[in-house]
Chain A
Amino acid sequence: MTSRRMEGYRLGIDVGGTFTDIVLIGDDGSVRSYKEPSTPHDPSLAVQVGIAGMLDRVGLAAEQISLVVHGTTIGLNTIIQRRGARTALVVSSGNRDILEIARLEIANPFDMYGSKETPLIPRNLVFEVSARTRVDGTVEGAFCRREIDDIAEQLREQGIGSVAVVLLNSYRHPEMEEKIAQALRDSCPQVMVSQSARLWPEMREYERAMITVLNAYIHPQMAGYFRLLAERLRSIALTAPVYITTNNGGTIGIETARNRPIDTILSGPASGVVASCAVAASCGLPDFMSVDIGGTSSDMSLTVGGKPEYSTRSFVGDFPLILPVVNVSAIGAGGGSVVWIDDHGILKVGPRSAGAFPGPICYGRGGSETTVTDCYLVLEIVPHDFLGGRMTLDRAAAVRALAELGGRLGFSGAQAAERAAEAALKVATAKMATEVHRGAAERGLDIRDFVLVALGGAGPTHATLLAEETGIRTVLVPTSPGTLCAMGAVLSDLKRDYVRSIRRPLVPEVAQFFAGQAATIEAEARTWLAQDHLPGIETIPNWKAEMRYADEGIGLTVELPRTAVEAIDLHAIAQAFHVEHERIYGFREMEATIEIMTLHGQFVGSFPDSGISAPSASAAPPQSSTCRDIFEDGNWSRAEVFAREGLVPGAVVKGPAIVEQEDTTTWIRRGWHAEAQPSGIMRIERD
């Protein structure tokens, strides 16, 4: 990170389903945030209106904005709701069932009523071409003009807006795929073409096809959205460069995003983790678990040494994704999860959710199923007016429902509802803790060494419960846990990933091949940077390789020193692998042949430091508090209640206590105390 400050103001924008969040950062590091109701039928409208409104309120001219970073889940929602373009697929002969057969797996082999995912492209819109490239580059069967003409005619007849081209072995020999894609572009200029080797030239045709198909599926819609967004920003005289957040916790230029919308689909959670990194770093805590508890579910992400963890085995709806994404995994119940009792009298939480509508019983919108949120309310953890007073909650209805559940659990008397609510929160916490322990065991980590960064509307509410259950001693609550994605967007670096499948033994004879592959990555990165680069930003390549001993099955991803790649120092590359193998598996085999499977290059350019500072302390009103009784550990006890904005840096709050703010409520349980940090972050520790 460079310490140079950027001239002018930066805007971070996150388009969500309900709200479009906008964060404005001044060149003095000051932060202002704003929520505009989203306009799902035309999402960039809310962006335009929101920015215009914000500039107006702050009294800024559009020319004073020097950078816009924008995040959106439109691509993801398009896939999940299956609202994408009518898409076709072109493959090598004999490979037409690639989407039907996939990798043979089905979600639950023990479900006699199970089914497989419905492919995004039906079998009759998959076309084969007879030219077939072998792994050594030999082409069997020639390029055939007539085939292309036939396919083009079908595309027109069927009203296809987007086509994916995925030929076998194109990860190494992309020429035929290029030729066929170009021929299709020439024949059908109205059809958008996605090519597998251009998007992600990694061996494994099904996974590469999924990237290409998903890209093609959202391509017309996303390209249209980005075009309209750019137009609307210009219409309010905003001429700053526009960047789009990506799955890997970085950003790319809007022009690049128009051709590779696949890179943006999982950017929302990634931005949350990027923002958490900044939160934890400002407290000097590099190892943390961020927990985002929302309405229907909870997610977690583990970060070691301040660097987000990447996964190349994630899922988008039903489909696998091998692009590197910031690793976020579900850990179960959210605020809307339903609390119920099964036929045998056992208390259950989830997996069903009451959703946003009708929502929990206490919302009074016709919801009849008790939820986790109802439990918080019955225990008096959350205030009766929600979202800064925009919504009033019906505690009496929640008490009635939980008293009835409590009766069936054998609780009687005046506190039946409270005891049932507390039991349900215990079950929900046990389920989350179970998933957290699984995640830690998978990585060989001890979760007690981590701090918990609480995100989402219910994250800070549930954080000390989950910390107690998992043995975590420190919880961090960011200033604005509900709008962290927009903040994460502004904090994201310029970043793109590249890949090459190598699959060669690490011996001197392959040095030249290896060097050639690294050089093609660098060339591709230069082309990208020429387009997306902001002047004056230095870009650094980070190299990684997936390697294995020749007799092993799964490769291990190892960071390679930059010098080792640039000088093709095979010894240093081998050494990096031996060391990592010993760290992970406890042994190394010095005599064994090492195979280098895949080379990854990530190019990162840091935007100048935003120098974000605390909301100025002097502006804060003096600390004040009220009291209310909350039900904790089987008893009613008196808790102090604070307004978040009233907590000046250095203020200490002893549990049991409640801290309220517009986007969340923080529950500080007995045995914990919180201290407001100069950065505005609330740090909660065990006594």
Chain B
Amino acid sequence: MLTDPVTLEILSHKFSSVTDEIGYTIKRIAHSLYIREAHDFTSALVTNDGRVFAYPSRIGVSLFVDQNCGSAIKAMPDVQPGDVIITNHPYLTEGMASHLPDLHLLVPYFHEGQVICYGWLFAHFSDVGGRVPGSLSPSNADLFQEGLQIPPVKLYSGGEFVTDILAIINCNSRTPSSNTGDIRAMISAALVAQERISQIIARYGIDAFLQSQADLIQYSAQRSRDVLRRIPDGVYEAWDYMDDDLLSDIPLRLRLKMTVSDGLLELDFSGTDPQTPTSYNIPSCGRRSHWFTPRLMAFILTHDRDIPRNSGLFEPISVVVPQGTVLNPEFPAAVGLRATAATRLADVIQEALFRAAPDLVPAAPCGTAIPIVFSEFDAATHRERILIVQWCDGGSGARRGMDGIDGRGGSNANMSNNPIETVEDSASVVIEDYALRSDSGGPGRWRGGVGITLTFRVLCDGARILARNSDRFRFAPWGASGGRYSSYTRTVLNMGTTAEREVGKIDMLSLNKGDRVTVMIPGGGGYGDPFERNPEATRDDVARGLVSVEGAARDYGVVIVDGGIDFAATARRRAERQSQPAGPSAVSYDPQRLAWESVCDDKTMNSLVARLENYPAVRRWDMRRELFAEILPGLQGSQTNLTFMMRDPEPMRQRLRRAIAVL
């Protein structure tokens, strides 16, 4: 590093402050709810080769530090002062834009006629056209159904709007006026930054300004690698499943082989399932996508929390992503709901990290965050009224020395829920129960955080709910180091009545007056042997209603009588258990997953993926679906009881292997 250690620290704060100022300015003058309320936007300063060297600390989306603007910058080599580049194209920007509603701007900043860095800004726009209002749907079959595609072009040239481009964008949107307002807000914000940058250069000099960009990235890279060196060298494998891909009932597998060598990580995603004709694909173009690394960023920042947020954090990480998979789809695969796959991928990465460094990594979090969308017909306006009844989040995983968080922290999204009073004032529902879900945390010496249960009653006829993106109905979050898996997502209609019905994964459900819907979100996995949990802690869990008396006896071997511990009975019960103690890096999976893998084991599935690679990417999904339809015809919906269906796995597995061999 060439910048002196005082100037580097000062410039680190100044650069981050510039990005915060951009963010606050956007938020203050933007029009749309995505920006002003959901904060689905951000800004950063990037080097001339497209690497983030400063990122906001207080405002906007915190997930996208690992952004690479290199391809988009290269696509527009000839830039002048007053130019602004716009794009939303996932494939032409090699994953910088990762779905079409995110409009990205790149703004070159100049000093004496030379480009000295870029501002990168993105915001989620309400609508960019396509098949459905809002542009996003899991059932969009390809990118053309997802809206207007904008390659990198100049939106602003020499300080003037290129009105033709703006006209095309507006003509393709269902919400043109708010889009225009948001674009103007972003450009105003970017111009504020040019002034700030000039002030910094005037004070510290152009040499320090340029040199410190590289030095800050290097500084973060060194600190990041120091953290990653705590992971022992070796090869670690992990995989996990999304329940299905919406169009077929086959679990969708994401697979990772992580090779660690002296703080350098290679993530090899070979063995991951083929891309889907739904919108769950993550467009990476084979590069390290910012959707691959949030859980690694969490790991790094957990163990060294003040590293400056810039691309240096990820420098020690490289990837291998086979083409034609969910993690590297080919154009024009749809990508709108890539965040759903990224949620599961985060669990896979966490499992590989856990296997490598069990003392440093918690068990799995709930792994699903479900917005329950409610729609009713408004007689006054003759329009459908739509709102989110609740964001349902679950618990987080336990770690060595600490229980998971109850009812929160299950995702990195950090969204807020809706007050019951606001919901009841806006929709014809009564929220009858919104509570922690007892016995839903994975048992462990340190208990997984429990999930949430939500029950609401509908007060009108002809209502509907949608709960897309929901997952973990089929496979539960895993437990760690002898701690156990947690629980499944459940949705139940009219629970506790004669009309009770398990609904399973909800795409759309029609409801009438008096119907009650209950949604149960899993907790996080447990950590350590639950029979070694301090009985007093379990007694407190029972007193607080987080573990039932039966659960205490069954899962923890703690016998509770009248709220107190029966120590003698507890000692007997704990001594009776006949199982082997689990190793420190043992992972506990749920029975459904074990049943599934008794037929579809890792080796078999790897061979299937390898066989399919001989065919064009667009054919693989169909071939896979036909194969499973023939071998496992009973596989229907997330309610399928896999343990029952696969009670005699060997013949099924043989049939599957034979079918794969002749593909």
Tell me which of B28-36, B137-145, B151-159, B274-282 binds A: B28-36
Asked whether, in the complex, the Cβ of B402 is within 8 Å of the Cβ of A115, the reply is yes
Asked whether, in the complex, the Cβ of A438 is within 8 Å of the Cβ of B299, the reply is no
Shortest A299–chain B CB gap in Å is 17
Shortest A494–chain B CB gap in Å is 32
Contact of A101 among B10, B62, B408 (CB under 8 A): B408
Asked whether, in the complex, the Cβ of A106 is within 8 Å of the Cβ of B424, the reply is no
Asked whether, in the complex, the Cβ of B544 is within 8 Å of the Cβ of A124, the reply is yes
Shortest B63–chain A CB gap in Å is 9
CA distance A312 to B533 in the complex (A): 43
Q: Which residue of A lies closest to B11 (CB)?
A: A430
> Which chain B residues border A687 with CB–CB below 8 Å?
none
Contact of A94 among B33, B416, B435 (CB under 8 A): B435
> Which chain B residues border A409 with CB–CB below 8 Å?
4-6
Contact of B414 among A95, A100, A109, A553 (CB under 8 A): A109
CA distance A423 to B294 in the complex (A): 35
> Which chain A residues border B406 with CB–CB below 8 Å?
100, 116
Tell me which of A250-258, A522-530, A581-589 binds B: A581-589
> Which chain A residues border B413 with CB–CB below 8 Å?
109
CA distance A553 to B36 in the complex (A): 8
CA distance A76 to B166 in the complex (A): 53
Q: How large is the interface on A (under 10, 10 to 19, 20 to 34, 35 or more residues)?
A: 35 or more
Asked whether, in the complex, the Cβ of B434 is within 8 Å of the Cβ of A95, the reply is yes
Asked whether, in the complex, the Cβ of B6 is within 8 Å of the Cβ of A105, the reply is no
Query: Is B399 located at the chain interface by the 8 A CB criterion?
Result: yes
Asked whether, in the complex, the Cβ of B434 is within 8 Å of the Cβ of A101, the reply is yes
Binary per-residue interface labels of chain A (159-180) against chain B in the complex, 1 for a CB within 8 Å, 0 otherwise: 0000000001101000000000
Contact of A203 among B393, B425, B433 (CB under 8 A): B425
Binary per-residue interface labels of chain A (532-568) against chain B in the complex, 1 for a CB within 8 Å, 0 otherwise: 0000000000000000000111100000000000000
Contact of A344 among B222, B391, B425, B436 (CB under 8 A): B222
Q: How large is the interface on B (under 10, 10 to 19, 20 to 34, 35 or more residues)?
A: 35 or more
Shortest B178–chain A CB gap in Å is 9
> Which chain B residues border A348 with CB–CB below 8 Å?
9
* Interface hub of A111, A140, A434 (most chain B Cβ within 10 A): A434
Asked whether, in the complex, the Cβ of B24 is within 8 Å of the Cβ of A442, the reply is yes
Query: Is B297 located at the chain interface by the 8 A CB criterion?
Result: yes
Asked whether, in the complex, the Cβ of A123 is within 8 Å of the Cβ of B298, the reply is no
Q: Which residue of B lies closest to A471 (CB)?
A: B199
> Which chain A residues border B10 with CB–CB below 8 Å?
426-427, 430
Query: Is B123 located at the chain interface by the 8 A CB criterion?
Result: no
Q: Which residue of A lies closest to B12 (CB)?
A: A346
Query: Is B593 located at the chain interface by the 8 A CB criterion?
Result: no
Query: Is B564 located at the chain interface by the 8 A CB criterion?
Result: no
Contact of B62 among A110, A207, A431 (CB under 8 A): A110
> Which chain B residues border A449 with CB–CB below 8 Å?
none
Known: A94-B433, A204-B422. A106 touches B408 (CB 8 A): yes
Known: A112-B361, A553-B36. A97 touches B5 (CB 8 A): no
CA distance A114 to B403 in the complex (A): 10
CA distance A308 to B231 in the complex (A): 52
Query: Is A52 located at the chain interface by the 8 A CB criterion?
Result: no
Tell me which of B13-21, B236-244, B258-266, B495-503 binds A: B13-21
CA distance A168 to B33 in the complex (A): 27
Binary per-residue interface labels of chain A (445-487) against chain B in the complex, 1 for a CB within 8 Å, 0 otherwise: 0000000000000000000000000000000000000000000
Query: Is A206 located at the chain interface by the 8 A CB criterion?
Result: yes
A interface, by DSSP: helix, strand, loop or mixed? loop
Query: Is B452 located at the chain interface by the 8 A CB criterion?
Result: yes
- In B534-590, the 8 Å CB interface with A consists of 543-546
Asked whether, in the complex, the Cβ of A109 is within 8 Å of the Cβ of B417, the reply is no
Query: Is B415 located at the chain interface by the 8 A CB criterion?
Result: yes
Shortest B655–chain A CB gap in Å is 42
Asked whether, in the complex, the Cβ of A134 is within 8 Å of the Cβ of B424, the reply is yes
Asked whether, in the complex, the Cβ of B436 is within 8 Å of the Cβ of A101, the reply is yes
Query: Is B609 located at the chain interface by the 8 A CB criterion?
Result: no
CA distance A149 to B415 in the complex (A): 39
CA distance A484 to B408 in the complex (A): 42
Known: A104-B417, A124-B544, A553-B36. A347 touches B297 (CB 8 A): no
Binary per-residue interface labels of chain B (595-614) against chain A in the complex, 1 for a CB within 8 Å, 0 otherwise: 00000000000000000000
Asked whether, in the complex, the Cβ of A585 is within 8 Å of the Cβ of B420, the reply is no
Query: Is B116 located at the chain interface by the 8 A CB criterion?
Result: no
Shortest B15–chain A CB gap in Å is 10
> Which chain B residues border A168 with CB–CB below 8 Å?
420-421, 424
Query: Is A185 located at the chain interface by the 8 A CB criterion?
Result: no
> Which chain B residues border A96 with CB–CB below 8 Å?
435
Shortest A475–chain B CB gap in Å is 20
Asked whether, in the complex, the Cβ of A205 is within 8 Å of the Cβ of B421, the reply is yes
Asked whether, in the complex, the Cβ of A585 is within 8 Å of the Cβ of B362, the reply is no
* Interface hub of B16, B297, B302, B455 (most chain A Cβ within 10 A): B302
Q: Which residue of A lies closest to B391 (CB)?
A: A104
Asked whether, in the complex, the Cβ of B5 is within 8 Å of the Cβ of A110, the reply is no
CA distance A554 to B37 in the complex (A): 7
Contact of B425 among A135, A410, A423 (CB under 8 A): A135
Known: A94-B431, A586-B29. A346 touches B8 (CB 8 A): yes
* Interface hub of B62, B299, B414 (most chain A Cβ within 10 A): B414
Asked whether, in the complex, the Cβ of A97 is within 8 Å of the Cβ of B434, the reply is yes
> Which chain A residues border B198 with CB–CB below 8 Å?
none
Query: Is A357 located at the chain interface by the 8 A CB criterion?
Result: no
Query: Is A343 located at the chain interface by the 8 A CB criterion?
Result: yes
Q: Which residue of B lies closest to A102 (CB)?
A: B408
> Which chain B residues border A95 with CB–CB below 8 Å?
420, 434-435
Query: Is A579 located at the chain interface by the 8 A CB criterion?
Result: no
> Which chain B residues border A503 with CB–CB below 8 Å?
425
- In A190-216, the 8 Å CB interface with B consists of 203-207
- In B216-237, the 8 Å CB interface with A consists of 219, 222-223, 226
> Which chain B residues border A53 with CB–CB below 8 Å?
none
CA distance A292 to B662 in the complex (A): 77
Known: A344-B223, A553-B36, A554-B36. A114 touches B6 (CB 8 A): no
CA distance A204 to B421 in the complex (A): 6
Query: Is A389 located at the chain interface by the 8 A CB criterion?
Result: no
Query: Is B409 located at the chain interface by the 8 A CB criterion?
Result: yes
Known: A205-B421, A346-B8, A553-B36. A124 touches B402 (CB 8 A): no
Query: Is B25 located at the chain interface by the 8 A CB criterion?
Result: yes
Binary per-residue interface labels of chain B (380-414) against chain A in the complex, 1 for a CB within 8 Å, 0 otherwise: 00000000000101001001001001111101111
Contact of A112 among B62, B181, B399, B417 (CB under 8 A): B399
> Which chain B residues border A347 with CB–CB below 8 Å?
5-6, 9
> Which chain A residues border B405 with CB–CB below 8 Å?
106, 114-116
Asked whether, in the complex, the Cβ of B17 is within 8 Å of the Cβ of A112, the reply is no
Binary per-residue interface labels of chain A (392-431) against chain B in the complex, 1 for a CB within 8 Å, 0 otherwise: 0000000000000000011000000000000100110011
Q: Which residue of A lies closest to B396 (CB)?
A: A114
Asked whether, in the complex, the Cβ of B299 is within 8 Å of the Cβ of A100, the reply is no
Asked whether, in the complex, the Cβ of A434 is within 8 Å of the Cβ of B24, the reply is no
Query: Is B630 located at the chain interface by the 8 A CB criterion?
Result: no
Contact of B13 among A102, A112, A123, A431 (CB under 8 A): A431
User: Can you sample 19 A-B contacts with CB below 8 Å?
Assistant: A101-B434, A101-B436, A101-B452, A102-B408, A106-B408, A109-B412, A110-B301, A111-B305, A112-B362, A114-B405, A114-B409, A124-B544, A134-B424, A206-B419, A343-B223, A430-B10, A441-B20, A553-B36, A554-B36
Q: A109-B412, A112-B299, A206-B419 are in contact. List 20 more A-B contacts (CB 8 A).
A: A93-B433, A96-B435, A104-B407, A111-B301, A112-B361, A113-B302, A114-B405, A114-B409, A123-B545, A124-B545, A169-B421, A171-B421, A203-B422, A204-B421, A430-B13, A551-B33, A552-B33, A552-B36, A553-B33, A554-B36
Q: Which residues of B contact A (CB under 8 A)?
A: 4-6, 8-10, 13-14, 16-17, 20-21, 24-25, 28-29, 31, 33, 36-37, 58, 62, 181, 192, 219, 222-223, 226, 294, 297-299, 301-302, 305, 361-362, 391, 393, 396, 399, 402, 405-409, 411-417, 419-422, 424-425, 430-436, 452, 455, 543-546
- For the complex of A and B, 4 pairs with smallest distance between CB atoms: A553-B37, A94-B433, A441-B21, A434-B17
